[in-house]
Amino acid sequence: MDTLALEAKSAKSDGAPAPAPSAKPRPKPPKKPKRIVYFEVEIVAAKTKEKLLLLDKVEPTATILDIKSMFHKSNPHWYAARQSLCLDPKGKPLRDEEILQELPVGTTATFYFKDLGAQIAWGTVFLIECIGPLVIYLLFYFRLPLIYAPKYEFTTSKHWVVHIACMCHTFHYAKRILETLFVHRFSHGTMPMRNIFKNCSYHWCFAAWMAYYINHPLYTPPYYGERQVKTALGIFLFCQLGNFSIHMSLRNIKQSGSKVKKIPYPTKNPFTWIFALVSCPNYTYEVGAWLGFTLMTQCVPVLFFTVVGFLQMTVWAKGKHRSYLKEFKEYPTLRSPILPFIL
């Protein structure tokens, strides 16, 4: 009986149809694109609180520079470099690269506008600042008419230090002009045009004051003579080479057109090793060069120019040092702004 039952079960299973293949899984429907939340941007005059422009449907990825460009289209006389946009009437200006959706604003954002005035490129400012002293000093060196007494017109000094001083002064400003044209990469594209008069007055007037006394027919050479001049010349040239090395090092770590900041470090060039102790060694070398020029000429106007320049560069160096500490958590704490371990 068991055998017959097994045969019947086997026959039944042999005649049964094969099971249907499993159905393929249905493809998932494509995801719906995320809904973009557009911003409404209102631009208000910081002083008068007057509404200047309302921008509707601004993309959240728009930068401050994009918003400035939109504002410029409706107000052609306010180009982007002339605009300052803030989140508060007395707040800090927003950077061009900041993104709208990353700012502490809602979908309706209000920016306060300030007119920075007519702008001029930094490169142009540097050229004007440097060409002036270069030309002015040479006018005194060649003793052109109406500068000294008529009998000294187009004469030359009998002191060889005067000629060395002229070559050093000319070299310094010629170097700065060439660096402006081929080396420097400016973080800020422009500056207010009104500032150029202040900057040029400082450089041009000091150049005339120094040149008048150094090239004067009654000029007295340094007290220690040739030894003092040669020592000072060595200091001047050493610092000029160091200053150029720092400028080249800063250029190499910054890509053209980029505003991304990086920490400068010492390289194989020995002149850059001072980066281990100083945040702005270009200013350190600049002050050293003018100290050498002061020692070489033993001239009071040069000393005044060196002291005033040192005070101004100290302010700049401290500001840049604070900026480094704020932006980079890993910034070397051993560094000082301009003078190692002192300032």
Q: C-alpha distances in angstroms, 228 versus 183, 202, 241, 299? A: 33, 28, 20, 13
Q: Are residues 201 and 91 in the same domain?
A: no
Q: 159-205, pLDDT tens digit by residue?
A: 999 999 999 999 999 999 999 999 988 777 788 888 888 889 999 99
* Residues counted in the chain: 343
Asked if the structure places residue 6 within a domain, the reply is no
Q: Are residues 60 and 140 in the same domain?
A: no
Element (H, E) at 83: strand 83-86
Q: Are residues 106 and 154 in the same domain?
A: no
Q: Are residues 179 and 139 in the same domain?
A: yes
Q: Are residues 247 and 285 in the same domain?
A: yes
Q: How many domains does the chain have?
A: 2
Query: pTM of the prediction?
Result: 0.81
Residues 214, 162: contact at Cβ < 8 Å?
yes
Asked if the structure places residue 24 within a domain, the reply is no
Least confident of 32-36, 99-103, 247-251, 294-298: 32-36
Residues 254, 317: contact at Cβ < 8 Å?
no
Asked if the structure places residue 248 within a domain, the reply is yes
Q: 116-169, pLDDT tens digit by residue?
A: 988 998 889 999 999 999 999 999 999 999 999 999 999 999 999 999 999 999
Asked if the structure places residue 4 within a domain, the reply is no
Asked if the structure places residue 25 within a domain, the reply is no
Can you give the residue range of the structural domain that contains 83?
Answer: 39-117
CATH of the domain at 107: 3.10.20.90
Asked if the structure places residue 58 within a domain, the reply is yes
Asked if the structure places residue 3 within a domain, the reply is no
Q: Are residues 138 and 245 in the same domain?
A: yes
